[in-house]
Structure 1
Amino acid sequence: MEDLLKPDYGVLVLTVCNFLLLVYLLKKFAWNLIIGGLEKREQQIADDKKQAQDARAAAETLKQELDAKLAQISEEASKRMAEAVKIGEKQKEQILSAAKEQSDRLLAQAKAQIEAEKNKALADVRGEIARTAVLAASKVVQQQMSEQSAKSVVDRVLEEIKAK
């Protein structure tokens, strides 16, 4: 076991020579390819980052434009709503005014019609009173009666009028 712990200088020299040869060969043939690949990959990552930042900036600009358009559309919609409300109020006022005018006109017509009917009824009542008075007077004159018989004749005439 002691032999295992003692270094073998021949193997050590060969291992160092092999390592140096490997480093030389890697540097000669592979190192430039590996470094070139890493640099290419680093450049690609940088380009991808730049494209992502450009895309993010473009998306942000587009978002701002869309927000501005949305605000403009919202403002225009608010204006149109306000205009529609104003138009609705004007139409409401016009309709109410027309309805008031029509109701005033109908009220005036109704009053005139009532007044005409009242006058006609009064004329009919006056005519009926006049006919009754004439009829009663003619009966009183024809009979030359006493006061009691005149009252009975007037009562009879009034009963006839009520019956009609």
Structure 2
Amino acid sequence: MEDLLKPDYGVMVLTVCNFLLLVYLLKKFAWNGIIGMLEKREQQVANDKQEAQEARAAAENIKRDLDEKLAQISDEAARKMAEAVKMGETQKEQILAAAKEQSERLIEQAKAQIEAEKNKALSDVRGEIARTAVLAASKVVQQQMSEESAQSVVDRVLEEVKAK
């Protein structure tokens, strides 16, 4: 175990030589490629970052344009909606006015018809009363009677009129 704690100079020299040989070989064959690749990657990251910033600026411009167009569309939609409401109100007023005029005309026609029917009924009643009076008078004239018989004749005539 004591041998393990003592340094072996031969192995140490060989290890240092191997390390130096490895560094030399890496520098000769791989170092330039690795550095070139890292520089290329760094340049690509910078380019990607620049492109991302440009894309973000373009997206913001597009968003601003779309917001402006949306505002214009909203304004126009509100304007057209107001025009449609106004037109609807106008049509509503016209329809209501026409309906009111028609209802007044129908009421006037109904009143005229009722008045005509009333006049006709009164005329019929007057004619019937005149006929009844003439009939009663003729019957009274035909019979020169006493007051009792005249009353009975009037009652019969009234019953005849009611029967008709």
Is the pair's TM-score, using the shorter chain for normalization, greater than 0.5?
yes
Equivalence for 2:72: 72
- Mapping 1:83-94, distance limit 5 Å: 83-94=83-94
Alignment coverage as a number of residue pairs: 164
- Cross-structure match for 1:129: 129
2:140 match: 140
The aligned counterpart of 2:33 is 33
Say what the alpha-carbon RMSD is for the aligned residues.
2.2
Task: State the 1:4 CA deviation.
Answer: 4.3
> Counterparts of 1:10 and 1:144 in 2: how far apart (Å)?
184
Displacement of 1:132 after TM fit?
Answer: 1.3
For structure 1, which segment, 77-86 or 149-158, has the greater mean C-alpha deviation from structure 2 after superposition? 77-86
Deviation, 1:128, is 1.2
Residues 36-115 of structure 1 aligned to structure 2 (within 5 Å)? 36-115=36-115
Question: 1:144 is paired with a residue of what secondary structure?
Answer: coil
Give me the whole-angstrom Cα distance separating, in 2, the residues matched to 1:155 and 1:2: 167
Equivalent position SS for 1:59: helix
**Which letter maps to 1:34?**
I
Letter of the structure 1 residue corresponding to residue 44 of structure 2: Q
CA distance in 2, matches of 1:116, 1:26: 127
Q: CA deviation at 1:156?
A: 1.2
- State the Cα distance separating 1:80 from its structure 2 match: 2.3
Deviations 1:120-156 (A, max 9, x none): 1111111111111112112212212111111111111
2 CA distance for matches of 1:23 and 1:161?
Answer: 148
Q: Aligned partners of 2:115 and 2:95: how far apart in 1?
A: 30
1:117 partner amino acid: E
CA displacement, residues 96-129 of structure 1 (integer Å, 9 cap, x when unaligned): 2111111110000000000011111111111111
Question: Structure 2: where are the runs of 5+ without partners?
Answer: none
> TM-score, with normalisation over the residues of structure 1?
0.84
